[in-house]
Amino acid sequence: MVEYFMYIFSLSHFISISATQIAFGILLLFFIKDIIKGNKNIFSDKIVILFILFVAWTTLSKFVNYENFSSISKLIKKSFSWWHYLIFFVTWYFFEEKKLKPFNTFKFLMFGAFLSSCYAIYEIINKITHRADGFFTHALTYGNTISLIVILVFVILITKTYTTKIELYSYILLFILYFTSLILTLSRGPILFTTITLLVILVLKYKSKGIIFSLIIILIFTSLIFTNTNLKNRFNDFFNNSYNVSNTSFGTRVVLWKSSLEIIRDNPIFGIGNNIKKYFDQYIDVPVSSKAHSHNSYLTLAVYYGVPALLILMAILGMLLYRFYNSDDQFTKLAGLGITIAYMLDGLTENNFGDSEVLMLFCFLIGILYSLNSNKNYIDALNE
């Protein structure tokens, strides 16, 4: 039963966030049932202790800053905003304890991504939008999610984690499709950071030869930018001083980053808890295109919950990187490192810690990979 709901959960990531949340709710009930029965093996892992500290600190921050909430009910509701991270633990638990087959689940995930990518291309061909967004609400969100799938498929290919030529050709075609849809989002951050992550993976895999492969990718990437008018216009902002104009995409980010640092300076321990727009109104005196968040995952987290919360989450991410780097299996190592690095890099220009679609997919993928890394029989699981 759990396996089928995991398939639904996997498939729905790129199709319907509501279906994803419903499927996870059901999986969470199965998880709680098992924990009540006494199966508590995962609680011995140090990463669980760090997560409990993170939840405790962010919750305390909200109550310390209770005046920034419009009502007690909203304060209580916001106190559970960390629930997305539970996806990591639930996924990790079921794949380790129930011995679920990871690549069966990946296939459902990739099929959902396939449908979303096809729709993204359809959007551009039919001029529905100038920036592909798949089934998502925003092109940048879609770019940050499809980025993780691009990396997953790339690692499958270079580690030869497939069994037939049909699978090989399928993964090659999927990589091309996914990367094409990523390019069509015209989202500079995901495009740039995905490319950088692919280069890192190549160097980790092939050492000095990886540098040569990386130079080839850089050449291809540069050619794409300068031969595609839309991409060229988007990346030209790096060089035309748009960051000095406060209401441009770059300019707004610069203003928000500076203001966020000032807010953190004035509220370093517990942050502000809620209502970031109110504080931006106080700290920003120039026109900007958005005040929804800091457009940086790390600054947004520190603004809301203080520097200690950021340090705890960085410790969790650092532990993930350390364990994946020391994995004995190439697929687990490179996929874990690549997906975590891409997620962290994408967070430099967007609030990935608060974007539920991206965060849910990241926790799901990392939960599967972490289960393989901590499971003594993970190599057998990969080959099933």
Which DSSP helix (H) or strand (E) runs through 347?
Answer: none
Residues 219 and 216: their CA atoms lie apart, in Å, by 5
State residue 19's pLDDT score. 94
Contact criterion met (CB below 8 Å) for 308 and 269: yes
| pTM greater than 0.75 | yes
Q: How many helices (H) and strands (E) does the chain have?
A: 18, 0
Per-domain residue ranges of the chain: 2-237+307-383
Q: Per residue in 182-237, pLDDT tens?
A: 999 999 899 999 999 999 999 999 888 777 777 887 777 777 766 777 777 777 76
Q: How far is CA 295 from CA 1, 200, 252, in A?
A: 40, 24, 9
Q: What span, in angstroms and rounded, lies between the C-alpha atoms of 293 and 99? A: 39
Q: For 12-42, what is each residue's pLDDT tens digit?
A: 999 999 999 999 999 999 999 988 887 767 7
Here the contacts of 259-268 (C-beta below 8 Å, separation 24 or greater) are 259/283, 259/284, 259/294, 260/294, 260/296, 260/299, 260/300, 260/302, 260/303, 261/299, 263/303, 264/299, 264/302, 264/303, 264/306, 264/307, 267/303, 267/306, 268/306, 268/307
Average pLDDT over the chain reads 89
Q: Looking at the predicted structure, is the pLDDT value of residue 376 above 50?
A: no
| 37 vs 379, residue with greater confidence | 37
For tokens 């727009």, name the residue: 277
340 close to 352: Cβ distance less than 8 angstroms: no
Find where tokens 């380790």 sit.
Answer: 96
The sign of the CA dihedral 65, 68, 74, 80 is negative
Whether 48 shows a pLDDT value over 50: the answer reads yes
Asked if residue 49 lies in contact with residue 89, where contact means CB atoms within 8 angstroms, the answer is no
Structure tokens at 76: 């209580």
CB-based contact 41:97 (threshold 8 Å)? yes
Classify the phi-psi angles of 241: left when phi > 0, otherwise alpha if psi is within -120 to 50, otherwise beta: left
The separation between CA 75 and the C-alpha centre of its own chain, rounded to angstroms, equals 26
pLDDT tens column, 106-164:
999 999 999 999 999 999 999 999 899 999 989 999 999 999 999 999 999 999 999 99
What's the alpha-carbon Rg for the chain, to the nearest Å?
A: 21
Q: For residue 210, what pLDDT is reported? A: 73
Could you tell me if 151 and 193 are in contact, meaning their C-beta atoms sit under 8 angstroms apart?
no
